[in-house]
Structure 1
Amino acid sequence: MSVDRSPDTGSSRSGSRTAFGALDDLDRRLLRELERDGRISNKDLAARVGVAPSTCHTRVAALRASGVLRGFHAVVDPEAVGRGLQAIIAVRLQAGARRQLGAFARALAARPEVRDVYLLGGSDDVLVHVAVHDSRALRAFVVEHLSTRHEVAHTQTSLVFEHLHVPTTAG
């Protein structure tokens, strides 16, 4: 991340080394606050971390430009939109199909039922988080988009009783 570090912009860039460059304490505080509230105004964010609004704006822009801050999104309650049944489905691919893992995962991610797709190391290859209307819709998803695909060796479905989102801390 190449950002001008004049005296007004805060501390130097010491800190943990990442693929994106060094993140300092100010970057971590900004990220922590943005994880808590992605809709916070620049003025309020600057006040929370104790810097000038111009410094805050410059730092957030640099975090976005470098790819550390990948975006902002709305968190929608699945039940409110008619998708109150959630499940996590573990998928194991046939050994010869693992080279198609990326395409398989992208196809799943494009489905409207799918909330998240995780590529794994270990006995399973993929975890799929889905939100559907009811058990009939869940069964249809598993059968139509997983079990009947030639590259899928095994699936295991676990129902989600409750999902608690806990923002991670930056650093």
Structure 2
Amino acid sequence: MRNKHELDDIDHAIIRELTADARLTNLELARRVGLTPAPCLRRVQRLETTGVIRGYRAVLDPKAAGRGFEVIASIDIAVNDGQTIEDFEAAASAVPEVFELRRMFGQPDYYLRILVADQDQYALETLPKLSRLPAVNRITSHQTMWLVKE
């Protein structure tokens, strides 16, 4: 079995097609990448087994789901010991409006992608939750003007 770092052009084509539409049937995927169905299915299964493909998800329209206001918050924490980091990450992950949490090298310590209904919900509900997270030293909020690339 190949190492997940040894991908050929067909593997990349499969990944490209599934990234664009993960609901493709194996038959259609095979047609698009120039394989017959059985070898195409084996390749997809290998990509899944080796962890190259980690899963499949529904992509939601945040606005249609009532979360059309996006904020990227950068957070610095006051203490960077192991327990504080664990506590902060667990608490931040539990905030329902936080859709993505990234630990950064350097400053800031974290970037959070937050999706809420509007500016009022962010300012009146979410920002107070964030300010009460363990060891928060500074929060800087950036409103997304528009999404250029997803």
TM-score over 0.5 for the pair: yes
CA distance in 1, matches of 2:115, 2:99: 7
What SS class does the counterpart of residue 140 from structure 2 fall into? strand
1:160 aligned to which of 137, 144, 150: 144
Count of paired positions: 149
Q: Distance in 1 between matches of 2:109 and 2:132?
A: 17
Do structure 1's residue 38 and structure 2's residue 22 form an aligned pair?
yes
Distance 1:91 1:97, change over 3 A: farther
Pair 98,86 (structure 1): closer, same or farther in 2 beyond 3 Å? farther
Match among 30, 52, 56 for residue 68 of structure 1: 52
Separation in structure 2 between the aligned mates of residue 135 and residue 59 of structure 1, nearest angstrom? 45
Mapped contact 1:109–1:117 kept (Cα < 8 A): yes
Aligned counterpart, 2:126: 141
Report the Cα distance in structure 2 between the residues aligned to 1:85 and 1:94, rounded to whole angstroms: 28
Distance 1:163 1:142 in 2: 22
Structure 2 runs not aligned, ≥5 long: none
Which residue in 2 is equivalent to 1:6? none
Asked if the contact 1:97–1:151 (Cα under 8 Å) also holds between the matched residues in 2, the reply is no
2:92 is the counterpart of 1:108: yes
Work out whether residues 92 and 133 of structure 2, in 8 Å CA contact, stay in contact via their aligned partners in 1: no
Normalised to the residue count of structure 2, the TM-score between the two structures is: 0.88
1:77 match: 61
> How far did 1:53 drift?
0.6
Amino acid at match of 2:8: D
Q: CA deviation at 1:36?
A: 1.1
User: Unaligned 5+ residue runs, structure 1?
Assistant: 3-12, 167-171
> Is 2:84–2:134's contact at 8 Å kept on the other side of the alignment?
no
- After TM superposition, where is structure 1 displaced by more than 4 Å over at least 4 residues in a row? none
Greater shift in the superposed pair: 42-51 or 155-164: 155-164
